[in-house]
Structure 1
Amino acid sequence: MNDKFNPLFEELELPNKVKLRNRFVLAPLTHVSSNDDGTASEDEIAYMEQRSQDVGLAITAASNVTDLGKAFPGQPSVAHDSDIGGLKRLAQVMKKNGAKAIVQIHHGGVQALPNLTPDGDVAGPSPISLKSFGQKEEHDAREMTSEEIEETIKAFGEATRRVIEAGFDGVEIHGANHYLIHQFVSPYYNRRTDEWGKDKFKFPSLVVDEVVNTARHYGNDDFIIGYRLSPEEAEEPGISMEITESLIQLLKEKPLDYVHASLMDIHSKTREGKYKDQSRIKLLSQWLDGEMPLLGIGSIFTAEQVLDAIENTDADFIALGREILLDYEFVGKIQAGKEDEIISKFDPERKDKHQLPPNLWDQFNNGFYPLPRTDEEE
């Protein structure tokens, strides 16, 4: 291995004393490949085994904690005890080569898809009409009742219990990307006038508490709990960096092990407000102030870009998303001194189809996700 990449393979200790073997993370990627009922499919298990083999931390695709929260076709489920059998197999293959395996627990809220939910029902903090994953037409979402909100908080806890029973090393609470927890924080999605609207941090705070208490009851001290957030949103009025600063202060009071910043570009800068044009990831690191590690992600396709992110953004470890889909040997090639052999562009002519599950290959081939391609001019 080229010595300059040594920092990428340094151990990182989490607040709960668990050590990760390197700074690479398999991002929680929507693979649309679970069985229709949310149980683990053979395609999904093979895919997750490959992508987990060399990273320090491997995170599953967003996994719905209730049937009402299902937001993707082929989404994995942690909503039922009947899911545990497949989850056990998934945990085994993700952990077999030394990675710590994490389930991202998720609820789509108003972004859930009516064709996938019971009776086409979709609900979130406030009524809204919008398009979600792959939709061409808007759907209507209703307001959740206080009782449903409390039941959903408990569902995050029950999902955590199942994750523990399946043998995973932890969970990541999905509080980003316009899904339910994010929606409660956002003034755009949460227009309620009751207790759940007046205090927009109440819902995420109680979800974290539920997950922590469940982990303490059913798990061990080394169970990892992370939290994913989106620092800003384009909607108006939406989540600003000032709101996120307050959220970070709340999260620092919780026994969490890392914060995961959801970004399309790890070098992105803030849109507006008193922090306008500053690095989002550096602000988050500054606010965390060493209380817990920061996971960064966004438009990283080469070994040099990973190194730059570690050295120049204040992120403690780097999640690989689209790139590790293009080349599941990305980390291993760096370690073997073969970084020049990394595949950094999508090639629709590849006979091995980048070793992707069929449904995910189709999405890449159809341009569903932005990424470098061999069939496009520079």
Structure 2
Amino acid sequence: MADLFTPYNFKNLTLKNRIVMPPMCQYSVLAEDGIPNDWHFVHYVSRAVGGTGLIIVEMTGIHPDGRISNQDTGLWSDEQIPAFRKIVDGVHSYGTKIGIQLGHAGRKAQDAKPPVAPSAIAFSSQYQMPRALTKSEIEEMILAFKESARRAVEAGFDTIEIHGAHGYLIHQFHSPLTNHRDDEYGQDLGLFGEQVIMAVKEVLPEGMPLIMRVSAQEYVDGGYDVEYCAKLSERYKNAGVDIFHITSGGEGPIGSEGGPKAEPGYQVELATEFKRLLQVPVIAVGLLDDFEVAQDVVLSGKADLVAVGRGMLRDPYWSVHASKALDGEQKVAKQYQRAYR
């Protein structure tokens, strides 16, 4: 029976345990021109030292105006590759695998002037009114995802995650709430995401798994449910997605944290339902900071991998501490072993 500390293999990806650091934007004021800096290097490599099995780098913009803010990282230029390669090499040196989440914020791009979206519908009164993308711009956006994926491969990442959740661009295309187009991208709400996946797959090496993060449920009136998202994601699976990272929210005032009623593991059942319906590996996420709660998710077979976000922001060594608390195998860096005797 697998637990948090059982190695995980999928295609050419081999993880030393089932613990994932999910993408969390750092909003670093030093991320000039989208290039990660010393903060990002220390931030990610310290979690590798701390024993994490897989690190997924924060949402990285495929376009300068695709970032949530101008303080975020990007991968729209070959000049950005070396800084990411430095992070990848550092993480690899401690036996951890690393992926990167590629995305575009769409109407939620706070510093774009103006932001773009499937339709001219603002996120809220505090956000700018977006401009609807033309068909040719949509085609350019798909190419931008592909080119960013090519750069990620060149930087040495072990896997790529496409961001299709939290109210960002792909989510905006596949949600009936935000896509009111009258062309083929409005008549077929899954078309844009499908075409992005197919384009990205063209530049991935054979055996590299593709991950996609989706919001399985929207917390607004008229929002879609898990059945809708699973049916849509069946197309994404057929287009080339190997693993789904299951989250929720993002299209209303309740964001990805689930709101005040959220409890530890509140999104796990969504991940389990995806696993059942699509017969694919899934990553569960959402207030899984407690060691025993995270362990139970894997032991019970509800998800294949467990993502620990805020807990890992508080504690870079969450994985080692979980192992000690749960009597798992402690793989501590030799420089720190005297503290664990």
Output one character per residue of 1:216-270: Cα deviation in whole Å (capped at 9) or x when no partner: xxxx32323111000011234333222212123213313333110014466437x
Range that drifts further, 328-337 or 185-194:
328-337
Aligned equivalents of 1:255, 1:126: Cα separation in 2: 27
- The corresponding residue for 2:34 is 38
| Aligned ranges 1:1-378 → 2 under 5 Å | 7-14=3-10, 16-33=11-28, 35-53=31-49, 54-113=51-110, 115=111, 117=112, 120-131=113-124, 137-215=126-204, 220-263=205-248, 264=257, 267-268=265-266, 279-289=269-279, 292-312=280-300, 314-337=302-325
Structure 2 distance, partners of 1:229, 1:266, is 19
Contact 2:7 2:18 survives alignment (8 Å): yes
Report if the CA contact (8 A) 1:13-1:19 is conserved.
yes
Q: Is the 8 A contact 2:104 2:169 kept in 1?
A: yes
Residue 312 of structure 1: how far off its partner (Å): 3.8
CA positional deviation for 1:138:
2.7
Q: What is the aligned-residue identity percentage? A: 28
Which has the higher mean CA deviation after the structures are superposed, 122-131 or 201-210? 122-131
The worse-fitting range, judged by mean Cα deviation, of 319-328 and 122-131 is: 122-131
Report SS of the residue matched to 1:89.
helix
Q: 1:336 to 1:240 in 2, by over 3 A?
A: closer
Instruction: Give the counterpart letter for 2:129 in structure 1.
Output: D
Kept in 1, the 8 Å contact 2:108–2:127? The answer is no
Structure 2 counterpart of 1:12, one-letter code:
Y
Letter in 2 for 1:172: E
Provide the alpha-carbon RMSD of the alignment.
2.1
In structure 2, what is the Cα distance between the partners aligned to 1:125 and 1:163? Answer: 26
Letter in 2 for 1:280: L
| CA distance in 1 between partners of 2:155 and 2:317 (Å) | 27
Q: Map Cα deviations across residues 32-53 of structure 1 (whole Å, 9 max, x no partner).
A: 1251311011111111111233
Structure 1-normalised TM-score?
0.78
Shift of 1:149: 0.5
Q: How far off is 1:296 after superposition?
A: 0.4
**CA separation in 1, counterparts of 2:86 and 2:234?**
37
Closer, same or farther: CA 303–267 of 1 in aligned 2, 3 Å: closer
SS in structure 1 of the partner of residue 307 of structure 2: strand
User: Is there any run of 5+ residues in structure 2 with no aligned partner, and where?
Assistant: 249-256, 258-262, 328-341
Q: Could you say which residue in structure 1 is the equivalent of 2:251?
A: none
CA contact (8 A) 1:30 1:61 kept: yes
| Partner SS state of residue 196, structure 2 | helix
Cα contact 2:198–2:240 (8 A) shared by 1? no
Mapped partners of 1:153, 1:236: distance in 2: 30
Are the aligned partners of 1:267 and 1:313 in contact in 2 as well (CA < 8 Å)? Answer: no
- The answer as to whether partners of 1:38 and 1:74 remain within 8 angstroms in 2 is yes
Give the total of aligned pairs. 312
CA contact (8 A) 1:281 1:313 kept: no
CA contact under 8 A between 1:185 and 1:200: conserved in structure 2?
A: yes
Structure 1 residues 10 and 22: alpha-carbon distance in aligned structure 2, compared to 1, 3 A threshold: same
Q: In structure 1, what is the equivalent of residue 332 of structure 2?
A: none
1:248 touches 1:287 (CA, 8 Å); kept in 2? no
Aligned to 2:211, the other structure's residue is in SS state strand
Partner amino acid, structure 1, of 2:68: A
Which whole-Å CA distance do the structure 1 matches of 2:242 and 2:15 have between them?
12
Q: Is the 8 A contact 1:229 1:260 kept in 2?
A: yes
Specify every segment of 5 or more residues in structure 1 that has no aligned partner in the other structure, as ranges.
Answer: 270-277, 340-378
Measure, in 1, the Cα distance between the counterparts of 2:246 and 2:94: 26
TM-score w.r.t. structure 2 length?
0.86
> 1:200 deviation in Å?
0.3
How far apart, CA to CA, are the structure 2 residues paired with 1:214 and 1:57? 21
- 8 Å Cα contact 2:265/2:288 also seen in 1: no
Residues 304-357 of structure 1 deviation map (CA, whole Å, 9 limit, x = unaligned): 111122234611110110000111111012334588xxxxxxxxxxxxxxxxxx
In structure 1, give the amino acid aligned to 2:271: I
Does the 8 A contact of 2:165 with 2:215 survive in 1?
yes
Aligned counterparts of 2:272 and 2:264: Cα–Cα separation in 1:
10
What amino acid is aligned across from residue 283 of structure 1 in structure 2? E
SS of 1:268's equivalent in the other structure is: coil
